[in-house]
Amino acid sequence: MNDIENLIPTFDVEDVRADFPILNRKINGMDLVYLDNAATTQKPRHVIDALTRYYEETNANVHRGVHTLSVEATDAYELAREKVAGFINAPRPETVIWTRNTSESLNLVAATWAEEHVAKGDNIVITAMEHHSNIVPWQQLATKKQAELRYIVAGKDGVLELSNISNIIDSNTKIVSMTHVSNVLGTVNPVDELTRRAHQVGAVMLIDAAQSVPHMPVDVQAMDVDFLCFSAHKMLGPTGIGVLYGKYDLLNDMSPFMFGGDMILEVTYEDAKWNDLPYKFEAGTPNIADAIATGAAVDYLNNLGMENIWRHEQELTAYALAQMSALPSLTIIGPKDPTLRGGVISFMHDSIHPHDLGTGLDQLGIAIRTGHHCAMPLVRSYDVVAAARASFYIYNSKHEIDELVNGISETEGYFA
Ligand code: PLP
């Protein structure tokens, strides 16, 4: 995968684009160039149809009925879970818990496993490049438990500094919770190495895979991670649905996160017994339609092949880094080496505020993100309060990167 110059994507971007109705939209009279994929991705017809078909043909509540629609809805809902399990190579479908999003998955682990296992004097290790969703739950827990929250810092090159890792992850570490791919720097972190270190000291490893599962092959068994979290909306699926994967024994020993229907086996006026996995963590009527549509998103991604998707994005990223680096007004943050990063490029302009740059590009139909990207401490560490970010996915092309670069130059002219 290193010799990215020689890699030829085995899918045709134009064919892929034809599957995404929104890409036909004009924005301010211009063709849409959608480069805000780290925030959320667009949806192919296949996923939109899965949603519509569910509501038109199958809609019913799951796990509760003997009638045909309820049985069909239950089968489709559970089939989607099996597809997701297969996608990340989870050993059993019941180790895949449906949540609302990555944030909820992270909070679930903090509020259950960590609540029960972290005590005064223990430490929790995260990195300096986490999304707020993977900082704030740990800050809260550390305060409540009088535990220490430790950070693995990153150098200015956007790469984690691991020279003193054995002092950071030590015998008092209970959990390491870190992002696989940074949503700001694009850095692909050495999660295998850090998982081994966490396990050496008896800590569990949680991976925030919001920016990796949609873009590269992820195998939870090969990685040997204990928990892994991601959101469907960042991988062609609908909003409002996400996943927590956990090792069976860990999940089985954990207390429920929420209480209500479906998560119980038996209730008396005095007490209740919890249901088996995965239902113990899925109180109330679940997000049935969006789970099924997530299964459709997984089918779509599998059809393209995750290796191919990763290669396509590496090629786009290398091209974008080269083109954007040629603009003297831009400072790009994150690793210089494209093979160390995913398809996320954050940058600052030397004279145009990111919000103005984003607004100027929007006039040209180009959608990028501007701001702190929900990673305020990290962005501030670059002595700025905001950055611009372009992020790529399966339907993006080199032509669109040219449009971005030309758009930046055109916006410079406007502000000159
Ligand atoms: N973690 C990372 C690395 C992210 O990029 C994001 C979203 O941008 C999240 C967590 C939170 O995802 P969600 O908003 O879907 O919960």
CA-based nearest residue to 352, from 297, 416, 306: 416
Which class is 2-45+305-414 in CATH? alpha beta
- Region 59-76: what's the mean pLDDT? 94
Q: What is the DSSP string of 179-229?
A: ESB-TTT-BB--HHHHHHHHHHTT-EEEEE-TTTTTTS---HHHHT-SEEE
Q: What is the pLDDT of residues 322-375, one digit of tens each?
A: 999 999 999 999 999 999 999 999 999 999 999 999 999 999 999 999 998 999
- Region 254-267: what's the mean pLDDT? 94
Which class is 48-303 in CATH? alpha beta
Is residue 229 flagged as an active site residue?
Answer: no
Q: Is-contact 222 89, C-beta < 8 A?
A: yes
The pLDDT of residue 206 is above 60: yes
CB atoms inside a 10 Å sphere around CB 302: 12
pTM, 2 dp: 0.97
Q: Give the nearest ligand 1 atom to 183 CA.
A: 5
The catalytic position among 16, 147, 374, 390 is 374
Q: Is the CB of 107 under 6 A from ligand 1?
A: no
CA-based nearest residue to 333, from 351, 319, 345: 345
The ranges assigned to domains in the chain are 2-45+305-414, 48-303
Q: Give the nearest ligand 1 atom to 373 CA.
A: 8
**b/e map 23-36, b = 16+ CB within 10 Å:** beeeeeeeebbbbb
Q: What is the model's pLDDT at position 385?
A: 86
Q: Is-contact 177 206, C-beta < 8 A?
A: yes
**What radius of gyration do the chain's Cα atoms show?**
22
∠ CA(38), CA(40), CA(45), 5° rounding? 130
Q: What is the C-alpha to C-alpha distance for residues 220 and 79, in angstroms, rounded to an integer?
A: 19
Confidence tier at 416 by pLDDT (50, 70, 90):
confident
